[in-house]
Amino acid sequence: MRIQLSDHFTYKKLLRFVFPSIIMMIFTSIYSVVDGLFVSNFVGKTPFAAVNLIMPILIILGSLGFMIGTGGTAIVGKTLGEGEPQKANAYFSMLLYVVFIIGAAFALIGCIFLRPLSRLLGAEGVFLENCVLYGRIILVALPFFMLQNMFQSFFVTAEKPKLGLLVTVFSGCLNIVLDALLVAVFRWGLAGAALATAASQIAGTFVAVAYFGRKNDSLLQLTKTRFYGKVLWKACVNGSSEMVSNIASSVVTMLYNFQLMRYAGENGVAAFGVVMYVSFLFAAIFYGYAVGSAPIISYHFGAGSHAELQNIFGKSMRIIGITGVAMFLLIKITATPLSTIFVGYDKELLGITVHAFQIFAISFLLSGFSAFASAFFTALNDGVISAAIAFLRTLLFETASILLLPSLFGLNGVWWAIVVAEAASFIIAAFFLWIKRKKYRYLS
């Protein structure tokens, strides 16, 4: 039976509804993970470190699609809840066209400035050339990557999370197959890994556009539209927390790489890359849950269903808490085998990576709460609070931790920075959820 946004959600129904979004986010994370896995094992440690060094720049450029997707979802979901489907489709269509145009412009700018930015991050010689090679190929597909981020949210709003999952799985599997062929079989090296990712992103986006571009049985369809400046601005404000979070995470990653180059060289950057790849997959569960539940929250907020808001909020807190504990235990148990898959060929690098995993695992006990809190306020169309949580979590707490702790504790300070930052973020998220409870009535 089809689950509708207007339904009352039990635990079973809620998990069924958000599950496709979780898998979507996991498969989206697979792009960089698969590239890293093949590059590390078939191309070498230096190209692998180059991918990790340049990836934050690529994520920053692509974050606008995620911002407009999540922020626009809140507006479109609320408009659907208010009983205006034609207006919702017009908003959806306008946002999609704007994202593609901006993506093309960002791709051009990125190609021009990629080399000086790579130098600024410390890349030289062959390391620098690897960064530029990989980055420029990926940038060709940037408009499609941005649309793919946007569609993750809108498939859920259209009440088609399973279809969104199938599109994402298709893209992820295509990426894996192409990586295996281009890197492992044809030995195209770093260029092959980049081409595999770019091709899979373009293919997945074409499938999504083809679906929404024709008559379908979902809540959304691409239609003739016009430019809605206020809607675009509101979408940017609503989704600013997600963009801030993506940009800040990328900036923080650059700081991690900078500190690791100082304290451990290329081995440190490579070890951090492995930890980040696995962390992406685990964090995708939290972000997938946030993306999947956001349209439900927006819909019931627009419909004035405060009892259902309370129901979703309470169940979400319990689900996230249990999931965080499970992630902590799982990473503790699997740290060595996961590290071996990526860097088992280098004993020293393997030891650094396993040690980093053991510390990073602690952060997952708390990280889900602040991630959900930020997405929750976005869904309530309160972009200011959402952005404040995201800003404090990353740009302030993580930046301060990564700059201060290594000077006190050396390499261990780098690994503990994320744990300290997540603890501070948890306190801030709890504070905002408490003081806003009466305004939005998600707590009785």
The predicted pLDDT at position 423 comes to 94
The predicted pLDDT at position 70 comes to 75
Share of the chain above pLDDT 90, in %: 39
The predicted pLDDT at position 188 comes to 93
16-36: average pLDDT: 78
pLDDT digits (tens, 9 = 90+) for 371-411: 899 889 988 888 788 878 877 887 789 889 999 999 899 88
pLDDT digits (tens, 9 = 90+) for 41-64: 898 878 887 887 788 788 787 777
pLDDT digits (tens, 9 = 90+) for 131-159: 899 999 999 999 998 898 788 778 878 88
The predicted pLDDT at position 32 comes to 63
Reply yes or no on whether the pLDDT at 178 is more than 90: yes
pLDDT digits (tens, 9 = 90+) for 259-317: 887 888 778 878 888 888 788 788 889 988 988 888 889 888 888 888 898 999 999 99
Distances (CA, A) of 105 to 98, 100, 140, 388, 417: 11, 9, 11, 28, 35
Task: Give the Cβ contact number of residue 60 at 10 Å.
Answer: 21
- Residue where the block lists tokens 């060709």: 140
The predicted pLDDT at position 1 comes to 60
Sign of CA dihedral 169, 172, 175, 179: negative
As a whole number of angstroms, the distance between CA 255 and CA 374 comes to 23
pLDDT digits (tens, 9 = 90+) for 192-246: 999 998 999 999 999 999 999 999 988 899 999 999 999 999 888 877 766 766 7
Reply yes or no on whether the pLDDT at 31 is more than 70: no
The predicted pLDDT at position 129 comes to 93
CB 252 within 8 A of CB 117: no
Reply yes or no on whether the pLDDT at 122 is more than 90: no
CB 381 within 8 A of CB 78: yes
Share of the chain above pLDDT 70, in %: 98
- Measured in residues, the chain has a length of 444
19-33: average pLDDT: 76
pLDDT digits (tens, 9 = 90+) for 423-442: 999 999 999 999 999 888 89
The predicted pLDDT at position 325 comes to 95
